[in-house]
């Protein structure tokens, strides 16, 4: 699992990640189907900014399958 908070990415292979979900999030997550991304944001947020926030680089999306070791060095661009 990779989690994006602000502009930083965290990987559960590198450190524990705990998600505490409310009933609304649990319901939304159970109905995701094939989708790989879920975003929770404050009420009244700008939809364009949320869409921009959710536009994750392909390199990150490829790493979700853990086919490769994740490179967190500055050179990797993550």
Give 41-76 pLDDT, tens digit per residue: 888 999 898 888 888 877 777 777 654 455 556 666
Those residues whose C-beta lies under 8 Å from the C-beta of residue 32, and which sit 6 or more positions away, are 38
Return the pLDDT at 75. 65
pLDDT band at 17 (very low <50, low <70, confident <90, very high): very high
The mean predicted confidence, pLDDT, of the chain is 81
pLDDT band at 38 (very low <50, low <70, confident <90, very high): confident
Specify the pTM.
Answer: 0.63
High-pLDDT (> 90) share of the chain, %: 12
Question: Domain map of the chain by residue range?
Answer: 1-13+44-67
* Terminal Cα distance for the chain, rounded: 15
């Amino acid at each position: 699992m990779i989690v994006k908070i602000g502009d930083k990415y965290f990987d559960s292979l590198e450190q524990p990640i705990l998600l505490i979900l409310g009933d609304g999030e649990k319901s939304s997550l159970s109905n995701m189907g094939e989708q790989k991304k879920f975003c929770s944001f404050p009420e009244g947020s700008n939809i364009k900014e949320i869409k921009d926030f959710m536009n994750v680089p392909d390199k990150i999306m490829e790493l979700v399958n853990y086919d490769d070791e994740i490179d967190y060095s500055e050179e990797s661009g993550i």
